[in-house]
Chain A
Amino acid sequence: MKFLPLVWAALMRRKARTILTLLSIIVAFLLFGMLDAVRVAFTVRDSLEGASRLVTSSRLSIIQPLPYADLAQIQRVPGVRQVAFANWFGGIYQDRRNFFANFAVSPNYLDLFPEFVLPKEQRAAFDHTRTGAIVGANLARRYNFKVGDRIPLQATIFPHKNGDNTWTFDLVGIFHAREARDRGQEDQMMFHYDYFDEGRTFGHGTVGWYAVQISDPDRAGQVARDIDRLFANSADETRTQTEKQFSLDFARQIGDIGLIVSSIMGAVFFTILLLTGNTMSQAVRERIPELAVLKTIGYSNRRVLWLVLAESLLLAIAGGCIGLLLAMAGAGMLSAAFRGGAFEVGLQSWRNGIGIMLVLGFAVGLPPAWRAMRLRIVDALNAH
């Protein structure tokens, strides 16, 4: 600690250079923080409830509906606790660009998803309102929906049998995600399957997918196989997966987001390493006579090494922390800009970030520090 003033003096030797270096490190970590928030948002997480849920959909393809009659059969499979079902609606609110997920669900659907918290009286209202719909808090905020509103959706797949393309729903509840990290899921709307099935012009008696709650997550594989065996070689074969696998497969269809993000981060850090590395070695080169003086008055080689390293570590850590703090603010803006996104610079990003700060600090500081350590006093004093 007592050497801090010395390190500080070295950094302040050329203020402009230090500030510019610091700023570029800040920029790098700002970008790192935001990209990592995107990566984390696309990573499928384990959750207690998710582990005990299976998704049964048509084996032919996700767009192919399954008969409603499968419900009773799936319910009888040993290990199955509860079965709910849903059907994608794909309605549009006002403009095609206002995309959000909306689907019809069975009456017990919410029982399987305790991570969505709906006030008790709103749940009761939903249960009793045929045309009732519930939306996530995020969605409600975006379109200023309030309980009691009538929400019209333009059908894209299912025209209403009254000849009109518009379906109207009564908003009876607004649900919240129980945990902050699930806030991305607050961007959906659900309504009753019965109302939907009655109003559509085709596909009656079919559902999009079944959500199956099982009593023992460890037996998920066995239960999934048992369900699929029920319908093997029938006209409607099924494919049952854990919810996590289902989400993973879906995320993978969009593209390898992890790969894209890490390639960009690689390019960013390569660039930053280049920028700061060069500046650091330049800074040390200029100070060679000074370092020699330090050695002359009795500073050990090791101490000189640490003095130089401390400089780069200080820069990397200070810049990194400021950058990540900015990224926390930036991620909030990102979430606001991209509907349905819940981007957050969380603990994991901080942990990765601090690791990178240390690596950066050492990688950049070590070569000049090494040189400073190996310096022979006579040569160094002679340098100018």
Chain B
Amino acid sequence: MRWITQILEITWMSLATLPRRPGSALVIVGGIAGVVGVLVALLAISEGFQAVLAKAGRMDDAIVLRKGASAELNSGLSREDTVLIAQAPGILHDRTGNPIASAEVVVVANLRKRSSGTESNVEIRGVGPRVWELRSNVHIIEGRRFRPGMRELVVGQGAQREFAGLEVGRTIRLGLQQWQVVGMFASGDAHESELWGDPEVLQGAYQRTGYQSVTVKLTDVDAFDTLKAALSSDPRLTVDVQRTRDYYATQSEDLTRLIRILGVAIAAIMGIGAVFGALNTMYSAVSARSREIATLRALGFPAVPVVVSVMLEAALLALAGGVIGAAIAWALFDNYTASTLGANFSQVVFAFRVTPGLILSGLLWSLGIGLVGGLFPAIHAVRQPVTVALRAQ
């Protein structure tokens, strides 16, 4: 108990002198703010990308692709395949007795991006009539749904933000055809980066006959095994079945891992630099106060409170830096939208996410840097013989 008050007193004493040496405090705060800011901002990219894809997946939806296809774009299913798949057991039926399944065509078109003015790939998905029940989180926020059989498209909110000329009422050219944008939808997941239309009309535009995938709603979470068993034992089909949650999680795996490795590596290197900075500051802080510390020691303060108080000072400054860095990253990058190439070789729009978890890990980093930066100077401070330190000028 006495130690605690001693620690607090010494820390308070040194913190009170901070206004007189703003420069050195700034070194710790600024240095660590830089590290934490970069770390949080980079990890926010991977969090955001992962989240937008994760939200597209569900436990009670399944996606069927041709065997070996890692993404929809690589897959191909014939019309007969899609009919067989929709008849499989384990699929939920609606009130009229139709299976809630959507046989989908996935193609890519070139559209001009707003930001760069250059053409980028946008994903166009031909969706079946039951898609609105299948993906019930999708709702039209402007205009109306496309009409089957027509050259009409509804565009995702993200796609519209990223690409030029997708406002409701505009037309875009697919090959020799003009397609009209009749509505805009929001879904909060990766589908927002897509354009949706009628699959059969889309096949015509791209001169193809097949489909890429079938997505179905399961009767319940456990029905997946039933469906999978039925489809894999059917000799007429060579397909892979996955829960959409697993499918979309795999899609974000590579990029997320890459960014995590990069983010942590860069922050670690910067962190080493910040440790040097913190060491520097704390060494000079301690040496500037060596007489005071020696006086305390002469008065009978034991070594431990002195050591702890120096480390505490460093940790507090570091934490302040961490908070500032995380706050800057949050202010600049939370919900910052960007897009990159996804598994279907087209742009996936996503928003950076600065989550509480990220901020927490940023603060832990800052504490770690502060403690390491404070430890050696603290030991140095009490190691000095009192008599020598008292005589120091």
Given contacts A23-B276, A252-B116, A275-B277, contact A60 B30 (CB under 8 A): no
Give the residue name and chain of the B residue nearest to A64 (CB): B206
- Complex contact B121–A275 (CB within 8 A): no
Does A20 touch B at the CB level, under 8 Å? yes
Given contacts A267-B34, A278-B26, contact A61 B108 (CB under 8 A): yes
Binding site of A, secondary structure by majority: helix, strand, loop or mixed? helix
CA distance A92 to B42 in the complex (A): 29
Q: Which of A61, A157, A275 contacts B107 (CB 8 A)?
A: A61
- Complex contact B68–A154 (CB within 8 A): yes
Does B8 touch A at the CB level, under 8 Å? no
Q: Which of A27-35, A114-122, A218-226, A370-378 contacts B (4 or more CB under 8 A)?
A: A27-35
Task: Quote the shortest CB–CB distance from B353 to chain A (angstroms).
Answer: 16
Chain B positions 333 through 369: 1 when the CB is less than 8 Å from some CB of chain A, otherwise 0 = 0000011110001010000000000000000000000
Tally of chain B residues near chain A (CB < 8 A): 60
- Complex contact B68–A279 (CB within 8 A): no
Q: Which of B126-134, B225-233, B265-273 contacts A (4 or more CB under 8 A)?
A: B265-273
Task: Quote the shortest CB–CB distance from A239 to chain B (angstroms).
Answer: 8
Task: Quote the shortest CB–CB distance from A325 to chain B (angstroms).
Answer: 15
- Complex contact B269–A21 (CB within 8 A): no
Q: Which of A20, A62, A254, A268 contacts B276 (CB 8 A)?
A: A20
- Complex contact B340–A271 (CB within 8 A): no
CA distance A267 to B32 in the complex (A): 11
Does A87 touch B at the CB level, under 8 Å? no
CA distance A311 to B383 in the complex (A): 31
Task: Quote the shortest CB–CB distance from B186 to chain A (angstroms).
Answer: 23
Q: Which of chain A's residues have a CB closer than 8 A to the CB of B199?
A: none
CA distance A28 to B35 in the complex (A): 12
- Complex contact A60–B109 (CB within 8 A): yes
Task: Quote the shortest CB–CB distance from B108 to chain A (angstroms).
Answer: 4
Given contacts A90-B74, A159-B68, A268-B34, contact A27 B273 (CB under 8 A): yes
Given contacts A271-B34, A281-B23, contact A27 B68 (CB under 8 A): no
- Complex contact A60–B110 (CB within 8 A): yes
Q: Which of chain A's residues have a CB closer than 8 A to the CB of B24?
A: 278, 282
Best-surrounded residue of B27, B41, B74, B273 (most CB of chain A within 10 A): B273
Q: Which of A21, A31, A239 contacts B280 (CB 8 A)?
A: A21
Q: Which of chain B's residues have a CB closer than 8 A to the CB of A31?
A: 266, 269-270, 273
Task: Quote the shortest CB–CB distance from A382 to chain B (angstroms).
Answer: 15
CA distance A9 to B284 in the complex (A): 19
CA distance A246 to B31 in the complex (A): 41
- Complex contact B108–A267 (CB within 8 A): no
Best-surrounded residue of B74, B110, B281, B345 (most CB of chain A within 10 A): B110
- Complex contact B27–A254 (CB within 8 A): no
CA distance A155 to B283 in the complex (A): 61
Task: Quote the shortest CB–CB distance from B130 to chain A (angstroms).
Answer: 26
Given contacts A254-B340, A271-B273, contact A233 B68 (CB under 8 A): no
CA distance A358 to B101 in the complex (A): 65
Interface residues in B145-173 (C-beta closer than 8 Å to A): none
In this complex, the interface size class of chain A, counting residues with CB under 8 Å from chain B, is 35 or more
- Complex contact A253–B347 (CB within 8 A): yes
Task: Quote the shortest CB–CB distance from B246 to chain A (angstroms).
Answer: 13
Q: Which of B76, B238, B274, B340 contacts A255 (CB 8 A)?
A: B340
Q: Which of A28, A64, A263, A274 contacts B27 (CB 8 A)?
A: A274
Give the residue name and chain of the A residue nearest to B21 (CB): A282
- Complex contact B276–A92 (CB within 8 A): no
Does A215 touch B at the CB level, under 8 Å? no
- Complex contact A272–B27 (CB within 8 A): no
Interface residues in A23-64 (C-beta closer than 8 Å to B): 23-24, 27-28, 30-31, 35, 59-64
Q: Which of chain A's residues have a CB closer than 8 A to the CB of B339?
A: 255
- Complex contact B280–A156 (CB within 8 A): no
Does A165 touch B at the CB level, under 8 Å? yes
Does A264 touch B at the CB level, under 8 Å? yes
Q: Which of A62, A239, A263, A274 contacts B26 (CB 8 A)?
A: A274
Does A197 touch B at the CB level, under 8 Å? no
Does B201 touch A at the CB level, under 8 Å? no
CA distance A92 to B254 in the complex (A): 15
Q: Which of chain B's residues have a CB closer than 8 A to the CB of A155?
A: 68
Does A249 touch B at the CB level, under 8 Å? yes
Interface residues in B25-83 (C-beta closer than 8 Å to A): 26-27, 30-31, 33-35, 37-38, 41-42, 66-71, 73-74, 76
Best-surrounded residue of B34, B121, B210, B338 (most CB of chain A within 10 A): B34
Does A237 touch B at the CB level, under 8 Å? yes
Given contacts A60-B206, A61-B109, A64-B206, contact A275 B280 (CB under 8 A): yes
CA distance A46 to B306 in the complex (A): 62
Chain A positions 274 through 293: 1 when the CB is less than 8 Å from some CB of chain B, otherwise 0 = 11001101100000000000
Q: Which of chain B's residues have a CB closer than 8 A to the CB of A253?
A: 120-121, 340-341, 347
Given contacts A235-B207, A255-B338, A268-B270, contact A20 B74 (CB under 8 A): no
- Complex contact A61–B110 (CB within 8 A): yes
- Complex contact B284–A17 (CB within 8 A): yes
Does B118 touch A at the CB level, under 8 Å? yes
Q: Which of A17, A159, A282 contacts B23 (CB 8 A)?
A: A282
Does A270 touch B at the CB level, under 8 Å? yes
Task: Quote the shortest CB–CB distance from A260 to chain B (angstroms).
Answer: 8
Does A96 touch B at the CB level, under 8 Å? yes
CA distance A24 to B277 in the complex (A): 7
Does A16 touch B at the CB level, under 8 Å? yes
Does B175 touch A at the CB level, under 8 Å? yes
- Complex contact A30–B276 (CB within 8 A): no
- Complex contact B206–A27 (CB within 8 A): no
Does B237 touch A at the CB level, under 8 Å? no
Q: Which of chain B's residues have a CB closer than 8 A to the CB of A68?
A: none
- Complex contact B34–A156 (CB within 8 A): no
- Complex contact B120–A235 (CB within 8 A): no
Q: Which of B42, B108, B279, B347 contacts A62 (CB 8 A)?
A: B108
Interface residues in B194-235 (C-beta closer than 8 Å to A): 205-207, 210
Does A113 touch B at the CB level, under 8 Å? no
Q: Which of chain B's residues have a CB closer than 8 A to the CB of A248?
A: 118
Does A202 touch B at the CB level, under 8 Å? yes
Q: Which of B67, B70, B176, B274 contacts A235 (CB 8 A)?
A: B176
In the complex, the 6 A-B pairs of residues with the closest C-beta atoms, listed nearest first? A271-B34, A27-B273, A275-B277, A61-B108, A24-B276, A274-B30
User: Would you mind naming 10 contact pairs between A and B with Cβ atoms under 8 Å apart?
Assistant: A17-B283, A23-B273, A35-B266, A63-B107, A157-B76, A159-B67, A165-B67, A249-B119, A271-B270, A278-B281
Q: Apart from A35-B266, A159-B67, A165-B68, what 6 extra A-B contacts exist at CB < 8 Å?
A: A21-B276, A24-B273, A157-B69, A233-B176, A268-B38, A338-B258
A residues apposed to B, CB below 8 Å: 16-17, 20-21, 23-24, 27-28, 30-31, 35, 59-64, 90, 92, 96-97, 154-157, 159, 165, 202, 233, 235, 237, 239, 248-249, 252-256, 263-264, 267-268, 270-272, 274-275, 278-279, 281-282, 338
